[in-house]
């Protein structure tokens, strides 16, 4: 909305009214009828490949209706500030792309949706593929359409270093991890005496702390796809998108791409690449390192992109990461979950990968061979289930072979990460490595209000960071390695007191049960750190010694479905706070009648079609140590993490030395277009698919 005033001075007043209807948007990043993607205010790394998409919209009906005939004669120029504006094809020395046309519909607001009165928009479009800007400075990209209307995009190519200051970069992402959660995790795992902690978290010991803003391009709340993309490419995008700006075309694989850190680093320095996650590996945070689509739910094609790179357009060559460890066997077992029904275990093996399907095999895998490790279907069972309440594991059917037996020989984040370092160190050699290691279920368990499981996985992350530092010391690589620990977004979680679970359970009505909550002085001290002689988990010094004390944390979120709270740990497996009382497609979630039966009901603050909690706005912490650590203090945007890493790795290419970027772009091939058409992009439907596909645990739409 805000850019409307600046960009489209000629726009009619009615436009401003329309674009103010924010909860629905005609096209994010395009508040006027002429769209330039990348949009106004975009920053680039010098030499970073990207596509340009232009669209001219002609609304047929609705508040913007202009006759419904989109301009086929629009023009587009690029000007480096101080130089002359040139037609883009000429500027980039590529052929003028062909004109494309399509239609799409959208709702202007909730009233229109209730009345089922969509607005129809006709579109003319062009796409300039795989271009780059090399010289640092300011650029002006101008779309001229409708005989005199302009959309102006001001772009900046940042002036960064070409010198490589860090040999290795390890980026830990605690998905959904906020400062509030770190504080709670510290409280349950580390003993304090009279207010002084006797030990602290590894994160607490980092020398540099920053905050990053996580908002999306076109919404102030993000999901893990587009926030990961911002961290990996320096470009914010739209919810559910990764490695692309979102266009309005039917194909989810033709949206304008931006090159990621993995692609650039492979191209410039040839470093080893590692991807580790406790999620299914096609999930947004791991797969956005290599993925380019506006629909994160296209899991099968995204796994193919991870192995083969982009194949429907000429793009940076990529032939798979050196390490690819996680879960989500559904995309590897041949069948409906895998791309073109192929066996991706075989595809990876054929590409030279060792393939590990359990922890024993993982630990024995060669350190000099590329390595695939897929340890179960869906997400990896969480730390609490793998280490404390292990009975749940036997109830699962998540063997990565697809034989519907439980996967019991499971690594955790620490085992995967340490093995990954061995391989990356061996394979990267003097060229170093880049690894992203994700603690995914902090977010996933916060979504389902399972605070214990979320905090357990946060502590597993901290323990992993601790072990990583020790490992790097042993390898003599600590001083060569930039370590960053951050999140991609938050949840509005906090601890507000203690709950006397015995008293709560003994009371007969909801209001009396609430009196079991102790606040301020009655919160008392953490009992999770008080040894109980009858309990021993052998989980080490960085974890609670009692997960089930009488006095637990009273905690929660501000955004939730209807649910019931008793503040006790869930011992028989992950929590399901709300269930669908009407069923697909008219979702209506209410308290799960089997959850916390002795608790009190808290009615929700979210739309009743939401099964879970949702992401929040808050800035998230960034912990940094190693070369370039000083770049990560203070407050900045998530894209600055990409630029800081790129700066530290010397990835800027301020001249077009190779000339490859200016070669003629290729025409779209059908590979992913075909794949995409096989999966509906309609939201409700792919939620259904995801839920069907992931037999175990909860998979939210936006995680």
* Binding letters toward its own copies, positions 194-213, x by CB under 8 A: xxxx--x--xxxxxxxxx-x
Q: Can you name the residues that pair with 149 across neighbouring β-strands?
A: 145
Q: Nearer Cβ to its own copies, position 147 or 521?
A: 521
Measured from the CB atom, is 219 or 314 closer to its own copies? 219
Please give the structure tokens belonging to residue 498: 């203690």
Which CA distances in Å does 373 have to 320, 362, 432, 633? 13, 7, 21, 35
CB atoms within 10 A of CB 195: 6
Tell which positions 671-690 bind its own copies, by CB under 8 A: none
Interface with its own copies (CB under 8 A), residue from 79, 135, 494, 548: 494
Binding test (CB under 8 A) with its own copies, winner from 60, 89, 606, 689: 606
Q: By CB under 8 A, is residue 644 in contact with its own copies? A: no
Of 341-400, binders to its own copies (CB under 8 A) are none
- 158 near its own copies, rule: CB under 8 A: no
- Three-state DSSP state, 446: helix
The conformation of residue 687, written as its DSSP 8-state character, comes to H
Shortest approach of its own copies to residue 558 CB, angstroms?
A: 4
What is the closest distance, in whole angstroms, from the C-beta atom of residue 451 to its own copies in the complex? 10
Site string for its own copies, 168-197 (x = CB under 8 A): ----------xxx-xxx-xx---xxxxxxx
CB distance 370 to 427 below 8 Å? yes
Residue 283 engages its own copies in binding (rule: CB under 8 A) = no
Question: Which of helix, strand or coil describes residue 373?
Answer: strand
Asked if 302 contacts 285 with a C-beta cutoff of 8 angstroms, the reply is: no
Total chain residues near its own copies (CB under 8 A): 124
Cα dist. 10→39, 123, 479 in Å? Answer: 18, 20, 56
Long-range contacts of 389-395 (CB under 8 A, 24+ apart): 389/547, 389/569, 389/571, 389/572, 389/573, 391/571, 391/572, 392/572, 392/573, 392/574, 395/573
Binding letters toward its own copies, positions 607-626, x by CB under 8 A: xxxx---xxxxxx-x-----
Should residue 635 be labelled a site residue for its own copies when binding is judged by CB under 8 A?
Answer: yes
Minimum CB distance to its own copies, residue 566 (Å): 12
Active-site pick, 224, 356, 441, 498 = 224
Residue numbering of the annotated binding site for Zn(2+): 443, 447, 488-489, 615
Does position 216 interact with its own copies (CB under 8 A)? The reply is yes
| Rounded least distance, CB 284 to its own copies, Å | 12
Smallest gap from Cβ 82 to its own copies, in A, equals 22
Query: Are the C-beta atoms of residues 561 and 613 closer than 8 Å to each other?
Result: yes
Residue among 6 and 364 whose Cβ is closer to its own copies: 6
Q: Among residues 360 and 603, whose Cβ is nearest to its own copies?
A: 603
Judged by CB under 8 A, the chain residues 19 through 48 that form the site for its own copies are 20, 22-25, 28-29, 39-43
Q: Which stretch binds its own copies (CB under 8 A): 159-167, 366-374, 545-553, 568-576?
A: 545-553
CA distance 498 to 140: 56
Task: Report the binding-site residues for Mg(2+).
Answer: 175, 283, 285, 438
Segments of 179-221 assigned E as strands? 192-193, 196-197, 208-213
Q: Which of 137, 335, 402, 497 binds its own copies (CB under 8 A)?
A: 497
How far is residue 99 from each of residues 35, 250, 256, 313, 422, measured CA to CA in Å? 14, 15, 15, 17, 50
Which residue from 136, 334, 335, 518 is in contact with its own copies, where contact means CB under 8 A? 518
Subset of residues 548 to 567 that bind its own copies, contact rule: CB under 8 A: 549-551, 554-559, 565
What residues contact residue 659 under an 8 Å CB cut-off, 6+ apart?
none
Closest CA to 516 of 502, 526, 496, 529: 502
Residue 401 catalytic? Answer: no
The least distance separating its own copies from the CB of residue 564, rounded to whole angstroms, comes to 11
Residues with a known catalytic role: 224
């Amino acid at each position: 909305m805000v850019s409307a005033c600046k960009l489209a001075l000629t726009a009619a007043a009615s436009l401003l009214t329309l674009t103010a209807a924010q909860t629905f948007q005609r096209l994010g990043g395009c508040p006027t009828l002429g769209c330039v993607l990348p949009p106004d205010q975009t920053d680039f790394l010098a030499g970073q490949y990207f596509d340009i998409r232009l669209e001219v919209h002609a609304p047929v009906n609705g508040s913007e209706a202009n006759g419904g005939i989109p301009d086929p004669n629009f023009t587009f120029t690029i000007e480096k500030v101080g130089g002359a504006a040139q037609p883009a094809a000429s500027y980039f020395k590529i052929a003028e792309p062909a004109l494309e046309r399509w239609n799409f519909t959208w709702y202007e607001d909730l009233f229109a949706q209730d009345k089922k009165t969509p607005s129809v928009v006709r579109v003319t479009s062009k796409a300039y593929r795989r271009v780059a800007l090399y010289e640092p400075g300011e650029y002006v990209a101008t779309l001229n359409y409708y005989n005199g209307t302009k959309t102006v995009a001001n772009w900046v190519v940042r002036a960064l270093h070409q010198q490589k200051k860090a040999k290795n970069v390890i980026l830990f992402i605690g998905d959904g991890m906020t400062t509030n959660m770190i504080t709670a995790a510290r409280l349950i795992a580390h003993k304090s005496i009279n207010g002084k902690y006797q030990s602290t978290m590894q994160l607490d010991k980092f020398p540099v702390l920053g905050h990053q803003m996580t908002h999306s391009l076109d919404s102030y709340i993000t999901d893990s796809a587009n926030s990961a993309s911002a961290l990996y490419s320096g470009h914010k995008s739209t919810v559910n998108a990764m490695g692309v700006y979102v266009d309005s075309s039917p194909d989810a694989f033709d949206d304008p791409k931006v090159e990621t850190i993995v692609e650039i680093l492979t191209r410039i320095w040839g470093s080893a690449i590692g991807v580790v996650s406790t999620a299914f590996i096609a999930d947004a945070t791991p797969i956005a390192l290599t993925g380019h689509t506006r629909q994160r739910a296209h899991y099968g094609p995204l796994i193919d992109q991870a192995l083969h790179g982009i194949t429907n357009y000429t793009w940076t060559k990529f032939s798979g990461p050196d390490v690819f460890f996680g879960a989500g066997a559904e995309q590897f077992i041949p069948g409906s979950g895998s791309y073109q029904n192929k066996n991706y275990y075989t595809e990876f093996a054929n590409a030279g990968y060792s393939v590990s399907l359990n922890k024993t095999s993982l630990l024995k895998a060669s350190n000099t061979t590329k390595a695939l490790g897929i340890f179960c279907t869906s997400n990896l069972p969480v730390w609490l289930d793998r280490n404390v309440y292990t009975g749940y594991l036997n109830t699962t059917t998540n063997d990565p072979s697809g034989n519907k037996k439980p996967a019991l020989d499971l690594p955790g984040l620490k085992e995967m990460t340490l093995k990954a370092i061995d391989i990356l160190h061996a394979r990267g050699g003097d060229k170093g490595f880049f690894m992203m290691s994700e603690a995914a279920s902090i977010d996933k368990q916060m979504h389902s209000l399972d605070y214990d499981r979320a905090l357990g996985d946060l502590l597993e992350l901290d323990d992993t960071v601790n072990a990583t530092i020790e490992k790097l010391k042993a390898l003599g690589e600590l001083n060569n390695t930039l370590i960053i620990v951050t999140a991609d977004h938050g949840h509005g979680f906090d601890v507000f007191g203690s709950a006397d679970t015995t008293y709560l359970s003994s009371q007969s009505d909801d209001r009396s049960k609430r009196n079991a909550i102790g606040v301020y002085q009655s919160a008392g001290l953490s009992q999770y750190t008080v040894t109980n002689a009858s309990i021993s988990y052998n989980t080490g010094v960085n974890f609670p010694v009692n997960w089930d004390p009488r006095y637990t944390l009273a905690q929660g979120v501000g955004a939730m479905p209807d649910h019931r709270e008793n503040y006790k740990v869930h011992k028989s497996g992950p929590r399901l706070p709300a269930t669908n009382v009407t069923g697909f497609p008219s979702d209506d979630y209410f308290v799960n009648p089997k959850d916390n039966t002795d608790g009190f009901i808290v009615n929700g603050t979210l739309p009743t079609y939401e099964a879970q909690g949702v992401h929040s706005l808050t800035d998230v912490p960034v912990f940094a140590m190693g070369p370039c650590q000083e770049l990560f203090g203070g407050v900045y945007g998530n894209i600055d993490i990409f630029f800081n890493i790129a700066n530290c790795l010397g990835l800027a290419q301020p001249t077009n030395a190779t000339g490859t970027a200016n070669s003629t772009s290729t025409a779209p091939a059908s590979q992913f277009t075909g794949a995409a058409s096989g999966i509906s992009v309609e939201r409700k439907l792919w939620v259904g698919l995801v839920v069907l596909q992931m037999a175990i645990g909860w998979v939210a739409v936006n995680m």
